[in-house]
């Protein structure tokens, strides 16, 4: 069904990404063979570490023609197996696309690359008096691209909602290599299909996210942690959802 990675493929990858960003050493590949799902593991044939959207576009066009499977990967902290290369092939790591491109205080937006660690987004916007609510448990290690691919939440989701409530724009690469632009710096967009929401939670199966525009809110003046005891589980659930 799928083709294997051969010398021709490795030559193409080396020319596209550079020798240092093409990994074939088994000891290095092991890191990219799993996420946080216990017992789920599959080793890729090669790992490439992208730095630009155009590299990704050329890779996907090539892999599509050659019928080589490509598994995109963020930081590897997902709990669904989305980053596990179950068909082998190429793992496309986005870990080096880790720039915060813009914090737009006027429009309450931030533009980032997918490899930015979620906790770094929190730190950057809070210095500007702004707030990005989603707080997955692995926020100091997970990447924002992975958060979108998994529609991550966190404890604050009860009050503020999950990741999908804060994504306003995406740049993504389709399996064909085509680069698409969705949404932008606006909260309401009624033009065309809502493809942003389709990509959120798709675990990298529909497109590879390469740039993200997130909605922010003003930083709360006060935050308080509470510990409340309940006699029954249902009472706790009813209170949390009230």
pLDDT at 188 (0 to 100): 79
The pairing of strands 100-104 and 109-112 is antiparallel
Domain boundaries, the chain: 7-93, 100-218
Residue 162's Cα: distance from chain center in Å? 14
pLDDT at 224 (0 to 100): 82
Residue position matching structure tokens 């950057």: 124
CA-based Rg of the chain, rounded to a whole angstrom?
19
Rounded to whole angstroms, the Cα distance separating 212 from 166 reads 10
Left, alpha or beta for 179 (phi > 0: left; psi -120 to 50: alpha)?
A: beta
Domain spanning 7-93, CATH architecture: 2-Layer Sandwich (3.30)
pLDDT at 147 (0 to 100): 98
Half-sphere exposure of 14 (CA within 13 A, CB side): 10
pLDDT at 222 (0 to 100): 86
pLDDT at 88 (0 to 100): 97
Asked if 135 and 156 count as a contact pair (C-beta separation under 8 A), the reply is: yes
In the chain (242 residues long), the average pLDDT of successive 10-residue segments reads: 96 98 97 96 98 99 98 96 96 99 98 99 98 96 98 93 97 98 88 93 97 98 87 90 75
Rounded to whole angstroms, the Cα distance separating 193 from 176 reads 20
**In CATH terms, is domain 100-218 a member of 3.30.465.10?**
yes
pLDDT at 189 (0 to 100): 77
pLDDT at 79 (0 to 100): 92
pLDDT at 117 (0 to 100): 98
DSSP 187: S
Rounded to whole angstroms, the Cα distance separating 193 from 206 reads 15
Asked if 47 and 32 count as a contact pair (C-beta separation under 8 A), the reply is: yes
């Amino acid at each position: 069904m799928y083709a294997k990675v051969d010398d021709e493929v490795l030559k193409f990858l080396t020319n596209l990404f550079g020798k240092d960003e093409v990994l074939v050493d088994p000891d290095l590949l092991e890191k990219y063979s799993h996420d946080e799902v216990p017992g789920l593991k599959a080793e890729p044939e090669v790992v490439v570490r992208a730095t630009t959207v155009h590299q990704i576009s050329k890779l996907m066009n090539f892999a599509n023609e050659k019928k080589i499977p490509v598994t995109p990967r963020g930081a590897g902290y997902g709990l669904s197996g989305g980053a596990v290369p179950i068909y082998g092939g190429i793992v496309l790591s986005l870990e080096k696309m880790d720039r915060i491109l813009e914090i737009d205080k006027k429009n309450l937006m931030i533009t980032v690359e997918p490899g930015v660690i979620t906790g770094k987004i929190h730190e950057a916007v809070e210095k500007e008096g702004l707030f990005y609510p989603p707080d997955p448990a692995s926020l100091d290690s997970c990447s924002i691209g992975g958060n979108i691919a998994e529609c991550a939440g966190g404890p604050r989701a009860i009050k503020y909602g999950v990741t999908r409530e804060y994504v306003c724009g995406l740049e993504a690469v389709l399996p064909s290599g085509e680069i698409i632009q969705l949404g932008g710096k606006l909260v309401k967009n009624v033009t065309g299909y809502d493809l942003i929401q389709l990509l959120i939670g798709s675990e990298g199966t529909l497109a590879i996210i390469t740039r993200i525009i997130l909605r922010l809110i003003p930083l709360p003046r006060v935050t308080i942690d509470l510990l409340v005891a309940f006699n029954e589980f249902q009472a706790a659930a009813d209170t949390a959802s009230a």
